[in-house]
């Protein structure tokens, strides 16, 4: 069966510091992968989408970037964090046949 893992689960970072969140998927090959962000009390905002290695589509231009160095690895990064980057970051993979989206456990980021 397919599993998806994210880390770290929680982090507190100062403004201006870099960020790296990692996501890996097991049990499927060439998955479509997504990064979403959920601000406190808000809905899910799509940030990035990837259909394969090195293929990234950006939904919202901002100081975040994403990379897919391996088939089952998806990384979210920032060179300099802003206060507004605080939120709950969720990685997800899509079942090609049903369209279902399955989420990882999430990474909660607080920027101070």
* Shortest separation between residue 90's beta carbon and another protein, angstroms: 6
Among 87, 92, 93, which Cα is nearest to 107's?
87
Q: Is position 102 an interface residue for another protein (rule: CB under 8 A)? A: yes
Nearer to another protein, 32 or 77 (CB): 32
Among 16, 10, 41, 38, which Cα is nearest to 103's?
38
Q: Is position 1 an interface residue for another protein (rule: CB under 8 A)? A: no
C-alpha 102/C-alpha 34 separation (Å) is: 10
- Window 32-71: contact mask with another protein (x via CB under 8 A): --x-x-----xxx-x--x-x-----x-x------------
Find the binder of another protein among 1, 69, 97, 98 (CB under 8 A): 98
The DSSP symbol for 84 reads G
Owner of token pair 């160095």: 69
Asked whether the beta carbons of 72 and 27 are under 8 A apart, the reply is no
Q: Is position 74 an interface residue for another protein (rule: CB under 8 A)? A: no
C-alpha 66/C-alpha 26 separation (Å) is: 19
Please give the residue ranges that form the binding site for another protein (CB under 8 A): 34, 36, 42-44, 46, 49, 51, 57, 59, 88, 90, 94, 98-106, 108
């Amino acid at each position: 069966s397919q599993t998806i893992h994210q880390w770290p689960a929680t982090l507190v970072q100062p403004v201006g510091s870099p960020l790296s969140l990692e996501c890996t998927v097991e049990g499927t090959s060439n998955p479509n992968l997504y990064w979403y962000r959920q601000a406190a009390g808000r809905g899910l905002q799509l940030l990035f989408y990837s259909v394969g290695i090195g293929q990234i589509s950006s939904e919202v231009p901002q100081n975040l970037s994403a990379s897919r160095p391996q088939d089952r690895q998806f990384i979210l990064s920032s060179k300099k964090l802003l206060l507004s980057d605080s939120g709950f970051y969720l990685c997800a993979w899509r079942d090609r046949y049903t369209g279902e989206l399955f989420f990882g456990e999430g990474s909660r980021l607080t920027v101070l």
